[in-house]
Chains A and B, each alone.
Chain A
């Protein structure tokens, strides 16, 4: 029995080694405190995290645990108090604001929790915005936007105003916008937070399919345990620290079995 187990473990190690992919995001000793009055309120306590190419990482945890702050630090919007973030070997926090802006624009797609739009522009023009920011014309960017709006199944809404659409439809548009410049990474801050169950499931399915189709590495914050099944990896945070980091190769039921693991803060691989 023991022999069988040992053999199985060795085989898994071999499998894991074969599957080892390029590390694309590395968070190193990330700490963040906010000044409130005369007090410094710590939010992140030295986060270390590595994400490899093609992963669909779900960052989960209770409200106020610091997952959005971590996400924003990785995205280059929230300046860490200590530590740094490497994306594809670039230390993004040693660079200038304009460099980070350029990097976000060209390499990272972003889906915020609430859909934010340029109100005066149509849906398709809003999708084209990252291209316009990158120095392309509206016409050039709209050509790509037209393909993406079809990809997310919203073609007939192209000439409407974004706020004419439902929450789920707006998040689909936000997904299309995030893909405009063919990003390597997708960062999403609770994109299903304001959606009903069905819309949330549809959006998550769409995100997973697109990530697989275009081989995009995804880091997503979510509250919704029903969506754990979409992630290839679940990183749980409590009180500014990572308490578990789970590779999810099968299903939610298997993940739920690891409830003990989450509590103890160990990292386990679920086969």
Chain B
């Protein structure tokens, strides 16, 4: 969603969630394109829709409106047998020593957003792109306390010389166990790493849990290689990687930064035979 909004002219400094109110037809069109491409579920345009994140953009006062409207837009065009996921991304702030936020700041932040999304009739929660396990854990618990619908929780890992870790140094087993204990129903990884790296990461997650595993790798994220910017993945090879990711244990798949409905179409073609 984010990459597409930027392509469509989202101005720097404007939170994408503002478009739920100012450009509702564009948001709906994007959702519809995904459903038509074969998506079973779409994420509401609320990734940065928590008060802390919106306040950084000076839009904190619109938190309730942006979240409500986001769900409304997706619900209006959601086909039968398809689903709407209430998207929750990071607060943008960090705990010490990296930042100055507190656990109670996080709690308050996610309780509020989860409340709006739950009231607005979503099918499940999608907590994603969490680079700090503690923040993810707080978010899952907050959601759990306001709603009984399923919670998907997804961590952003990076590949280091010693394997996969969050930027805070959380290991894969620790992330999986902590999220499971917090009450997540589906656990996985998204963003930063590409589809080929995700193939290696997924077994490390699935061996730690009996819960369903989700994978939403980046596609076509610009990368520096020998001083040149290269776009790594096209829809077809991406979908081939997704097939392998499924064989390796993932049962919920999709695309993160750089992907678009074309990627989903390829996945649907290869995985569901559509």
Physical interaction between A and B: no
Which B residues have a C-beta under 8 Å from some C-beta of A? none
